[in-house]
Chains A and B, each alone.
Chain A
């Protein structure tokens, strides 16, 4: 079992506000790590630490280590290379003001892929993986921002897959997507996890249960429990809080 993400004693402060308080966990290749917890528990901040987009927030202060592929992300010389290894999907879709084709081809082009056939194939594969291909294949050159909310979200998933990431992070991807499409994307995720690591932040406890191999439960900046999915959702998780949360007694 290969650990692709290792987090040790990670703490993050925004000014005086403590967003993440001393958490340690890991994610493995071939697995989906589900991160659940009520709002404001530090889930999104956790994702931002992995690809270092936390750097955009000037008030943030990060302690502890985040290792991707055994390398400390703080010590990497090129943050762009790091981000190219990680696909990130935000809760609300951000269609870049480009055509559908260019949205997906954006990252590969930046990484230096120039060959038209290669790009065409890549765009098609990614759009198929995100279950969007059939709806947009005839209008790849129209603007991505003109798609519906759910379509845009699938476009961002296609975009996140376009640079063949080792790690795919999804931050509550299903907020703007209808249930049927959600199921289709979930199938895609199960297919994808064979080759890569997936970190799935979700408010839908049942979604975490369906998909995850390991689950981290966060509450009020702290990691309450981190274990295999059967333990967290089983009869005897270590913490009573976990038991209550996954059964809907609180939160």
Chain B
């Protein structure tokens, strides 16, 4: 009997046609992801183009001046410096909190605790990820802010530290789950070999697991950074939304109780008020482009670093 693909009643042509259709569908769904990303970029770029290509736009002013005053329209200035600094500072604070806690928690979950505690912890961490950002914003604004103002002497109103804690809690689940996967991917034979040499648990973690899982851990941290940079609602509610530079040349170099304003929050807060197509509207889309570029650079860095590590290994 000749080997013809089995057809369910229909002719061989139908089978081949069906194969072809399925193949095309898979291609379409694959390429659509790329198409969507490009069309979003094109849309933002189109809306911002008036601002980007205008001769009046002074780029050094845009990047290095803190005066973002869209009103009154006749004398409007668009300096994004404060927002860039705001986004950087709140991400920095969030990561300073979330990275040590996240990696520590991942080590605890994957290496140290009993299966029962492990399951409980994982459920709790996943629950953390399920909380909507507006709820985080509410908790940050009403609860944490109360604590910070009344017990830590912060000025009334939400501030950088307040937003940083909220962002840290929001990016914690991503960091923990990716880092835990990275630890899980380390073969058990490494652990046994190290323990057979007389290593204590901590020595195994520090000297064997961290080097073995470094790619995954780096990915975990960078995804956490991406989450923190892109978050909008919680930072809008919890950072004070005030143009300000929290860095200073004097100790402690970063005033964590200063209010700040981020790129994302500015767009969310002002886009509704800006008349469509106006200069203000276009400037906001320029901020969007900037945000796009920042995320792109972070992802590219992650990619290059991971590749660099891989090359070093081979």
Contacts and interface: CB of A to CB of B under 8 A. Distances in A.
B207 A106 contact: yes
Tell which of A56, A88, A97, A143 has the most Cβ of chain B within 10 Å: A97
Contacts of B189: 90, 92, 94
Dominant secondary structure at the A interface: helix
B253 to A, nearest CB: 34
A142 to B, nearest CB: 9
B190 A97 contact: yes
A110 B193 contact: no
Interface residues of A, number: 29
Contact of A51 (B196, B203, B313): B196
Contacts of A84: 197-198
Contacts of A111: 198
B198 A56 contact: no
Contacts of B199: 80, 106-107, 110
B313 A83 contact: no
A146 B314 contact: yes
Contact of A106 (B194, B212, B313, B314): B194
A163 interface: yes
A73 to B, nearest CB: 13
A81 B198 contact: yes
Nearest to A102: B207
A222 interface: no
Contact of B193 (A86, A90, A146): A90
Contacts of A163: 197-198
Nearest to B212: A97
A56 B28 CA distance: 49
Nearest to B208: A96
A159 B197 contact: yes
Contacts of B100: none
Interface of B: 189-190, 192-200, 203, 207-208, 211-212, 313-314
Interface of A: 51, 53, 56, 80-84, 86, 88, 90, 92, 94, 96-98, 106-107, 109-111, 143, 145-146, 156, 159-160, 162-163
